[in-house]
Amino acid sequence: MLDPLLLARIQFAATTVFHFFFVPITIGMVFLIAIFESIYVKTGDEHYKRITKFFGHLFLINFAVGVVTGILQEFQFGMNWSEYSSFVGDVFGPSLAIEALLAFYLESTFIGIWIFSWEKINKKLHVMCIWLVSIGTLMSAFWILSANSFMQHPVGVKYVENGVIGKKAEMIDFFAIVKNPYLWNQFPHVVTMALTVGAFTIAGIASWKMLRKHEVEMFRKAFKVSIVAALIGSLGLFVTGHSQMQYLVREYPMKVAAAEALYEDTGNSAPFSVLATIDQKQQKAEHYLEVPGMLSFLAYDKFEGSLKGMKSLQKEMDEKYYPVVGKHIDYTPHVPTIYYSFRIMSGSVGILILMALLGTIYSFKRTETKKRWFLQLMPWTLLVAEVATACGWIMAEMGRQPFLIFGVMATESGVSPNSGASVLFSLLVFCVLYTILGITQYIAFRYAMNKKETTVKEVA
């Protein structure tokens, strides 16, 4: 129970998942806020100005809490993963520095200008500020993902001897990091996910307002723009997810096999498993409900094509990575976690597409206010979107195991030489802090949502 490696992994999972609750809301909300203000500047419709200010206050609250959780997360590298940090510091340094010095400073600078310059500068200059904030959030996501993609697909480095820490990674090609194929398969998926989460956040709040008959006409306009964005984002999730699946089949077949609980090689037409019971110790799975040929279609865009099972892939990976690891180990990740995470994620995206489609239809027919059951359900779609996001990250990161850096560094080699008790203590402290932050954000959101007019001072 006090295994430092296990506790360090739990702590990193907890802090990362909690932090990522706020990131997609920030990216998606600010993009839509920029659209709202652009409509106001073009049409002069005061409703869109008030919509911009209303959701701008909520965005500021979310941004502030997200920054705090992100800072706490970065402490993880030094606290619990010092061996890993020493090994990969030269590679991560440029990406994290660019993210901080360029993207984050761009966001924070123009957020400040945007907040305090209402009615003080030209409207077009003012809306330009919020667009620069939106661009900054996308740049920030890109550079963070470039670091994460190196962990999944290490490129552009050489491994040199270091007298203090043994081997370390040394960057030799910065542009290889930027052109990493894993990054360019991951980034579009994350962007569409952020648009989906941000859009459902705004649509859910607008529904909550309309349900209580608070300035219905104004929030109807906010709902219409955001629900269309939610439909575009959720359909984009499906398309980019399909593309990413095909990339994983080619490059990381073990992750796909675990996501489908495939222990044995499939036939020429592989079915998609909807439900299964998994016995990882016995290396077998009982599939109760399958869609014939669907897995082959997801992998190859046709209903024919076989996939390797985990038993075959284990033999191949053991032979390939034995010189790196130095011993025979199990390269099969925790199958139940990945299998069910993938299904929860996929099912959640299906629900989001359905709700976005219904909302778009109701909005263009101007019947959304008559569908009380729909307005009551809409605020819960944010939870569905966040669950989909968390499960997607769990699948991506757990599927890389037992490697911290795929094919290069085993997870157990990157942990700090801490005692289990010290890691457990910091885990409990972080959980308490995050609980306080979550409650604080909820109270601040409710306060801002119930106020007709909220000043910048009150938000601060």
Q: Answer whether residue 90 is part of any domain.
A: yes
Provide the terminal-to-terminal Cα distance of the chain, rounded to the nearest Å. 42
Q: Answer whether residue 112 is part of any domain.
A: yes
Measured CA to CA, the distance from residue 9 to residue 305 in angstroms comes to: 36
Which distant-in-sequence residues (6+ apart) come within 8 Å of 374 by Cβ? Answer: 207, 358, 359, 362, 368
Domain count, the chain: 1
- Mean pLDDT throughout 134-141? 92
**pLDDT of amino acid 288:** 84
Q: Round the average pLDDT of the chain to a whole number and report it.
A: 88
Measured CA to CA, the distance from residue 41 to residue 53 in angstroms comes to: 13
Q: Answer whether residue 170 is part of any domain.
A: yes
User: Which domain covers residue 414, as residue numbers?
Assistant: 2-246+347-448
Measured CA to CA, the distance from residue 456 to residue 458 in angstroms comes to: 5
- How do residues 350-395 score in pLDDT, each as one tens digit? 999 999 999 999 999 999 888 999 999 999 999 999 999 999 989 8
**pLDDT of amino acid 460:** 43
- How do residues 360-372 score in pLDDT, each as one tens digit? 999 999 998 889 9
**pLDDT of amino acid 383:** 92
Q: Answer whether residue 25 is part of any domain.
A: yes
**pLDDT of amino acid 101:** 82
Q: Answer whether residue 276 is part of any domain.
A: no
- Mean pLDDT throughout 232-256? 91
Q: Answer whether residue 274 is part of any domain.
A: no
Residue 164, pLDDT above cutoff 50 = no
Q: Do β-strands 284-291 and 403-405 pair in parallel, antiparallel, or remain unpaired?
A: unpaired
Measured CA to CA, the distance from residue 299 to residue 253 in angstroms comes to: 10
Q: Answer whether residue 288 is part of any domain.
A: no
User: Directed axis angle between helix 335-365 and helix 181-211, to 10°?
Assistant: 50
- How do residues 182-201 score in pLDDT, each as one tens digit? 999 999 999 999 999 999 99
Sign of CA dihedral 114, 116, 121, 122: positive
Give the pLDDT band (50/70/90) at residue 229: very high
**pLDDT of amino acid 136:** 92
Give the pLDDT band (50/70/90) at residue 438: confident
Q: What pTM value is reported for the model?
A: 0.91
- Mean pLDDT throughout 397-401? 87
Helix (H) or strand (E) holding 290: strand 284-291
Q: Mean pLDDT: which of 67-81, 89-103, 155-169, 230-244 is highest?
A: 230-244
Measured CA to CA, the distance from residue 327 to residue 72 in angstroms comes to: 35
Burial environment of residue 358 by CB neighbours within 10 A (0 to 12, 13 to 18, 19 or more): middle
Q: Answer whether residue 362 is part of any domain.
A: yes
Region of 119 (left: φ > 0; alpha: ψ -120 to 50; beta: rest) is: left
